[in-house]
Amino acid sequence: MSIIHRVLDKDIHLLKLNCPLYGCWAKELEAKFQDAFARGARQMVLDLEEVTFVDCTGLAALVAGYRLFGSRQQNFRLVGLQDQPKLLLELTMFDRIFQVFDTVFEATGSKPVRPLQPTVSNFAVQPTV
């Protein structure tokens, strides 16, 4: 896994991940968050477009980033969620906390947050006769 770090503006930083987020990669991501914050980042955009899987340690890393950048000012933004990470956020109800955008351009612009669209439809269980 590689984590690409770009400075988009003096206080807006972008981290782009390119494979599943779990285990030791979660710790590395948390270290990148800390490093960016120490370098003056006040808004973090996390591009997950190439991340196909996030486990509980990956989710914990996302929460750490949220606490560092976005808990009050909503300066922690996720971009390009694939199906499994999106479902994980829905099931854990973090989709109500994180700001999620389709593109980096939207995340760095002034557009309002677009809530996640549910991937699991509601269904009723039919009794068997």
What does the pLDDT read at residue 99? 92
- The number of angstroms, rounded, from the C-alpha of 113 to the middle of its chain's C-alpha atoms is 13
What 3-state DSSP class applies to 74? coil
Q: Can you give the pTM of this predicted structure?
A: 0.80
pLDDT < 50 positions in the chain: 111-129
What does the pLDDT read at residue 110? 52
How far is residue 17's CA from residue 114's CA, in Å, rounded to a whole number?
A: 21
